[in-house]
Structure 1
């Protein structure tokens, strides 16, 4: 992955004290306002962050207007409906930060992930659970989030997450993954990570052992 996309900037955060009864509306509002201001200036397809993902999807043989990265899909929803769907307080906050930066943010329930989670081309034997309840098999070579049991927790890289590890009311342990490909991705991912960590901390969501939310770049290998 690093050889194919050397410009990739990525970071992770982990939480182990997530609750579903927290109101993140006020915390998310400034991020949504920033996103709306950007959309007033130009459509999401012209934002450099989104354009970079569109180029990556084209390189992977995907039609960018058929398969959109998660942040583009959210921005499109915000532009057309003026708001984002309410899913879970944590997801709602992450979605707001995602549209503010136009950078995809994935949120996984770690208790549904077996072993390590790896972003890599699919072997073609993995299984993916859609939100409609169907089981799919990613195409060989398709970039997925794969665990040690062969579960695909996301398809087409940043396009679509799996229902298997989606955040639910009972979710407690969470992995958050941030990825960007545009020219200023490294600095923007760092800024996003810092703002998101502060927002999460303001609601008392903490990392392992109740410590401050740990975060850092994914090491280059």
Structure 2
């Protein structure tokens, strides 16, 4: 199978000491249980409505602090986990998108962790987490129209050889690599700070992998821990 091998710039360890993530590569197979993702999403919304993990607020607050460190305003452009949690708590539920997206959103909600899902077939080269110089290109939709923009100088971004795939660390995903259930090669990244216990990070990864195996029993899956200070 194709294994995604992300790289993380050393500057990230200075900005966010103790940052670590799980990188999950998936060579997909036919989806046999399409309703599983929506059920997981509904269960996660119910779980956080009753409180969620004890460390959730501390973890999301730590992400807000890191965003401030590189110049983002978390009240407007915060982490994906914080935005998803606020939507779910306000509405009491979240709409279904597709089985795979529903599943990784469920993991993000339940474990208060940013989870990115990418169509790796659309990548050119391997993912890299680094600090932008401001000249990179990012494809997005603005007012319903496809457009290109650049990140701010000093902004943390994920990118490949073509351009930025996710702005402000995990705030907004680009259009080019957006994931759907039809993708043949998928890549997921579960991003945590020290306020999230490492055993909980591993549990989140297991929850995603277990869900993917139920969705796609014949999929090939690889998971590994990554970080700027992890060799």
Same fold (TM over 0.5): yes
Q: Is structure 2 residue 121 aligned with structure 1 residue 111?
A: yes
Q: CA deviation at 1:41?
A: 3.6
| Residues 158, 165 of structure 2: 8 Å contact kept | yes
| Residues 128, 160 of structure 2: 8 Å contact kept | yes
Q: Is structure 2 residue 103 aligned with structure 1 residue 93?
A: yes
| Residues 17, 173 of structure 1: 8 Å contact kept | yes
SS of 2:76's partner is: coil
Q: 1:1-221 maps to which residues of 2 (within 5 A)? A: 1-17=12-28, 23-26=33-36, 28-30=38-40, 32-41=42-51, 47-132=57-142, 133-149=146-162, 151-168=163-180, 170-204=182-216, 207=219, 211=220, 213-218=221-226, 220=230
**Higher strand residue share:** 2
The 3 A distance-change label for structure 1 pair 205 and 106 is farther
Deviations 1:133-161 (A, max 9, x none): 12111112111111112x10000001111
Unmatched segments (≥5 aa) in structure 2: 1-11
Q: CA deviation at 1:170?
A: 3.7
Q: What is the TM-score with the length of structure 1 in the denominator?
A: 0.86
| Residues 71, 102 of structure 1: 8 Å contact kept | yes
Unmatched segments (≥5 aa) in structure 1: none
Q: What is the TM-score with the length of structure 2 in the denominator?
A: 0.83
RMSD: 2.2
Aligned residues: 212
Deviations 1:72-96 (A, max 9, x none): 1111111122222322211111001
CA distance in 2, matches of 1:100, 1:57: 22
CA distance in 2, matches of 1:30, 1:165: 24
| Residues 8, 185 of structure 1: 8 Å contact kept | no
CA distance in 1, matches of 2:29, 2:147: 28
